[in-house]
Structure formats: C-alpha cells, structure tokens
Amino acid sequence: MNPEVFRQAIRAGGERVRLIKAMPCTCYNPQDNYDEQRGCGRCQFGQLYEEQTLADDVRVLITAVKKRYVHPEFGFVKVGDLTCQNMPDEILLGPLDKLVLVGRQMLQRQQVQKGVDTLSWPYPCTLRAVRDRDVKYTVDTDCELDAPNKQIVWLEGGDAPGDGDTYTVEYLYNPVFWYLLGDESPPRPVPFNTTFAPQKGYLVAKHPGSG
C-alpha cells in the first residue's frame, strides 16, 4: 500500500473544504443533564468551534452514503448523507468537527428585517437578489453581502427599505456537515512507510443531538 497514491487520488477527485474544529466546552459533562448545555451561550451542543487554516492543496474526497447505518452513539446515518476520505497528515478530523464544502453552493430565499439584516445560513457566499413588495434593489449598488457576519449591508447613497421593514433575499451558501467516525477507518500506519493511510468517516447535515 502506497499512501502517496491515495493522496494523489484524493487531490485529483476531492473537494476544497473549510475545517471548523470542535473542542469540548467546560459546560460539557456527560454525567449531567444534556439540556443544561443548551443554556450555554458560548457553545453548540457542548462544543466550542474554531476555524483552522488549511494548505491550499488540501482536498477531501466526498461520496454519498449508499445504505442506512446505525451509529452506536448518534443513531441513524441516512442514505444521502456523505462519507469523506482525507489524508490525516493534511487534515485530521475528530468527532463533531464541521466541514464546510466551499465547492458546493445551495440556494436559499428568506425574509429579513431591516435593522437586523442577518441571514439564517451560516456560510453565505453570493448575494443574488434583494427586493420588497415595491422595490427591486440592486446588489453592489444598494446593498452587499458581508459573508463573515452573515449580514446584508445597505450602502450609503443607495435605495433601502425603512427601518423595521421586511424584505426578501435570495442568496447562495456553502453547506456545512458534522463529522462522525461511525464504522469507518481511523488513520492507521502503513508498513515500511512513515505516512498514515487515509482517514474515513461520515458527514451528516444535521447534528445528531438536535432531535
């Protein structure tokens, strides 16, 4: 087994991602009632998340799940969820890490209130259209997308709804998935080689603890 062959295959057929690393919050204690974690204003399901910097050539090979799988801790992994393979010396994944698939874009339309101007999906990438009942606003003239803060920014000198008014936004966002090990493969050493074999796991679109 030559891990460099796997590396080249993953780079050839894989996708660029953003890695959001999970670390247990101090509110997390499996012996306590899990509902207590929902009152913590700093974490998600008992995990603190921080984005990691990846090299430009890092790729993850992603394929669709062909059959339903029961995870011993998190329950069903559904058909249509994703599996991923990655080289652990480039990107090492742990349970409940998040991967943002930057090469994929999903369409969303939602109503937003002027003065709040916050989008519901966490990784918006392209603002396509903005309008209310009477006016169709021009992107980059009247408003623009502040992607890191998930907000619509209204530009000075452009048209805008009144404060508190509701308007509709159409935008694209990058989907985000949660990583599970499941019955897949952790990194393992390759005989006569210092590089580990690819890591394999599941990506699910809904956090297993969200109900």
Tens of pLDDT, residues 58-89: 999 998 866 655 555 445 555 557 889 999 99
Q: Residue holding tokens 């990583």?
A: 179
Q: 115 with 90, same domain?
A: no
Q: Which backbone phi and psi does 11 adopt, to 5 degrees?
A: -70, -35
Rg of the Cα atoms in the chain? 21
Render pLDDT for 27-58 as a digit per residue (tens, 0 to 9): 766 665 554 555 677 888 888 999 999 999 99
Q: Does residue 98 sit in the same domain as residue 182?
A: yes
Whether 211 is covered by a domain: the verdict is no
**CA atoms of 45 and 39, how far apart (whole Å):** 10
CA dist 144 and 150 (Å) reads: 11
Residues 92 and 185 occupy one common structural domain: yes
Domain housing 138: 106-173
Conformational region of residue 176, where left means phi above 0, alpha means psi within -120 to 50, and beta covers everything else:
beta
Please provide the size of the chain in residues. Answer: 211
User: Among 59, 76, 75, 58, which Cα is nearest to 67's?
Assistant: 76
Residues 127 and 192 in one domain: no
Q: Please tell me the total count of domains within the chain.
A: 2
What distance in Å separates the CA atoms of residue 112 and residue 166, rounded to the nearest whole number?
Answer: 6
- Which residues have CB under 8 Å from 42's CB, separation 6+? 25, 27, 48
Q: What percent of the chain has pLDDT over 70?
A: 78
Say what the pLDDT of residue 36 is: 53
The contacts of residue 122 (CB under 8 Å, 6+ apart) are 150, 173, 176
DSSP 202: E
Q: What is the pLDDT at residue 194?
A: 62
Residues 87 and 11 in one domain: yes
Same domain flag for 34 and 96: yes
Task: Residue 209: name the closest of 49, 81, 30, 82 by CA.
Answer: 30
User: Quick one: 96 and 110 in the same domain?
Assistant: no
The pLDDT of residue 74 is 47
Q: How does residue 100 score in pLDDT terms, banded at 50, 70 and 90?
A: very high
Both 153 and 79 in one domain: the answer is no
Higher pLDDT among residues 58 and 197, named by residue: 58
